[in-house]
Structure 1
């Protein structure tokens, strides 16, 4: 629920921000007829999504405790011997060394930023190379920590040990791989018929023809996106279809394209936790059956995810209305209104 229903909410700029921002800029370029005339930055939704992280945690946690958990009997898990083992002095030393290595890496990144290797002026974060390259920077951060710990405690002595550790983590995913095979066939047929594309375009044209303005139109767009999300799970695929229609439409109505992207993300997230079209729900089911509830079925999982998605969607829309009413920026230098002179 946390990873899927609150999919786009992050404290830091994530890969989703970069992916959707690129599609938004492509739609802007096509609409204006020239490339680079007006662009949105990868941080265009950062402020709103930062605060939304806490909103999602509170809403999902509350629904889980008060609505979902009472449906089940008390969980009587089997405590494994591994869970009873205390951390050893060698492992403590490994953790300390890993933390130190990660700290040194962060210091190096900061020095690179201040030395204008990862930035233009050593001060501005927005638009900097450090922010654009956040994903590889994070990859090396956690790789350094994991490798330092592994070699410190003696788990890793050669490169084959690293490979074996990765294989071990994937060994419990056999059921997921089987699920993926059949899900892939279904999604392939679904895409081959173009049914998802037809549904998305039909929904977009319907909303465009309604003629809503202001918050009612924004809420309608969120709900249409949420309905499409049930049939097309890929966030980038949906936005690639919807952006060329809705980004120009919102711009002509005086809205910032970053705001249109934000509305899309609010509708694209909550339903991810229960749509069978999402490959991750099968992975979650596999883990649940493997570790916690062997007789868990897909119906049980979906039925208990739906209330979370519905309540979160309502809460997110209310939160958006409050945010818009207060006139708060949704990202650094990005508000609801389209800057003057763009059109």
Structure 2
């Protein structure tokens, strides 16, 4: 990777972050070191009797669990396997890659990319990639394992730096996670926690809180963040990365015209894709759909919790049809071999997942993350701020906590009972508090090594540059985190000053003016 010489203060700062970060040990080693530090600090903090009151169970105290105690040592040994197998991204990535592997190794993805490169206006590629990343939250975490590597491949096919494409997709998927043009599974999850917290202050008001309470704000956010992500990619990240000279595989780098059999394969794959999606739609669209929820609901239904195998099928069937038409797949042995070859490339990630899984599990078991969140919440409450300063402080602290606790619902379960009633008392609606939390929760995802998918993004990046480490990824993604935070906060302040509803029946102020 050849970088452009950077003379500006910001660019020099990013280069420094990258150099310092990349001097750290290999990510696998680093996660094992982090796990060890958690064990040591859990013992120290336990001896110091560090505790915090559980806001979800008033009167009950949470203490740091000593992982060097008899129970702690037993936990580390007995949970080692489940810490690995239950590491959230592991199954998602491996299952999804089975379907993607067939689509890739049959030649379908390569042919689609070449067709895309020769037909889509190049100036729209970055914006399209960021937009697609933001919208991918409707498919839960699938964007991490589908769009981030796809972004790198698309940029490489155009002769642009693949890491810039990966960064643009990662920014959309992760830093823009809360925004969407549709209601996603995140909306009812956060709304239910907000409603319970609001009920402690005003049960009658809480009954009117709905899952679309932030919908208007999030729709506009999609377009604002798409523009911001495009700007950061093309004006900051890509110039800093410079020209890519890492060697691109011909199947990814060539943008030649499609052959006749490839066009036939694409047509067949397209028909297979439509038929597959139509068949899957029958599982949820009709009222009798077997993948609807118990009460016939679509949101938070078995369909949405089964998106990983659904994505596997959506990639697998068109890939098989394409391979059969173009003769890149001739029998079942070819299919099995292509799946096996794909899994073979995931070896480095599997090792990384084992180390990261232990660290994440230890951090959660020790209660240090929860106590950190509670203490951060107590700090904001003690500042005595009101109005915009209070909201900005809340966003800053929630974003800082997000560096250590990745789960949006876990953090909100802790913070909502404290901040929703407090903000209602100051005249701000639970809907406003929730949307401020969503801004903070999204924008710092891309710079947190504790974010579960951070490890796999590094693995994708190392395909193009073996030297990529935590420092490289953080320095590349930091401009997105900063710019997304600034534009989103400005947008929120404007919304606050104008008093526009955040969603249907969801005012800024409490009680509604």
Determine if the TM-score, normalized by the shorter chain, exceeds 0.5.
yes
Rate the CA distance shift 1:37–1:327 in 2: closer, same or farther, 3 A.
closer
Alpha-carbon shift at residue 29 of structure 1 (Å): 4.1
Q: Quote the Cα distance in structure 1 between the aligned partners of 2:422 and 2:504.
A: 23
Task: Say if 2:420 and 2:433, in contact at 8 Å, map to a contact too.
Answer: yes
More displaced, 141-150 or 201-210?
141-150
Q: Quote the Cα distance in structure 1 between the aligned partners of 2:304 and 2:469.
A: 35
Tell me which of 180, 183, 191 is aligned to 1:21.
Answer: 191
Q: Quote the Cα distance in structure 2 between the aligned partners of 1:110 and 1:324.
A: 37
Q: Quote the Cα distance in structure 1 between the aligned partners of 2:503 and 2:338.
A: 40
| 1:309 maps onto 2:481 in alignment | yes
* 1:255 corresponds to: 428
Alpha-carbon shift at residue 50 of structure 1 (Å): 1.6
Q: Quote the Cα distance in structure 2 between the aligned partners of 1:31 and 1:18.
A: 20
Give the alignment's TM-score, normalised by structure 2: 0.56
Which ranges of structure 1 fall in alignment gaps of 5 or more residues? 120-126
Task: Say if 2:406 and 2:445, in contact at 8 Å, map to a contact too.
Answer: yes
* 2:493 corresponds to: 321
Tell me which of 244, 249, 267 is aligned to 1:75.
Answer: 244
More displaced, 272-281 or 82-91?
82-91
Task: Say if 1:176 and 1:283, in contact at 8 Å, map to a contact too.
Answer: yes
Rate the CA distance shift 1:150–1:76 in 2: closer, same or farther, 3 A.
same
Task: Say if 1:21 and 1:42, in contact at 8 Å, map to a contact too.
Answer: yes
Tell me which of 24, 41, 47 is aligned to 2:210.
Answer: 41
3-state SS, counterpart of residue 172 of structure 2 = coil
| 1:214 maps onto 2:387 in alignment | yes
* 2:304 corresponds to: 135
| 1:94 maps onto 2:263 in alignment | no
Task: Say if 2:377 and 2:418, in contact at 8 Å, map to a contact too.
Answer: yes
Q: Quote the Cα distance in structure 2 between the aligned partners of 1:163 and 1:248.
A: 56
Q: Quote the Cα distance in structure 1 between the aligned partners of 2:316 and 2:474.
A: 37
3-state SS, counterpart of residue 129 of structure 1 = coil
* 1:235 corresponds to: 408
3-state SS, counterpart of residue 338 of structure 1 = coil
Q: Quote the Cα distance in structure 2 between the aligned partners of 1:277 and 1:8.
A: 18
Rate the CA distance shift 1:325–1:32 in 2: closer, same or farther, 3 A.
closer
Task: Say if 1:259 and 1:330, in contact at 8 Å, map to a contact too.
Answer: yes
Alpha-carbon shift at residue 144 of structure 1 (Å): 6.4
* 1:176 corresponds to: 349
* 1:197 corresponds to: 370
Count of equivalent residues: 328
3-state SS, counterpart of residue 269 of structure 2 = helix
Rate the CA distance shift 1:100–1:185 in 2: closer, same or farther, 3 A.
closer
Q: How does 1:135-154 map to 2 (within 5 A)?
A: 135=304, 145-146=314-315, 148-150=317-319, 152-153=321-322, 154=324
Rate the CA distance shift 1:173–1:26 in 2: closer, same or farther, 3 A.
farther
Alpha-carbon shift at residue 106 of structure 1 (Å): 5.3
Which ranges of structure 2 fall in alignment gaps of 5 or more residues? 1-170
Task: Say if 1:102 and 1:142, in contact at 8 Å, map to a contact too.
Answer: no
Q: Quote the Cα distance in structure 2 between the aligned partners of 1:166 and 1:308.
A: 35
3-state SS, counterpart of residue 279 of structure 1 = coil
Root-mean-square deviation (Å): 3.5
More displaced, 99-108 or 52-61?
99-108
Task: Say if 1:28 and 1:39, in contact at 8 Å, map to a contact too.
Answer: no
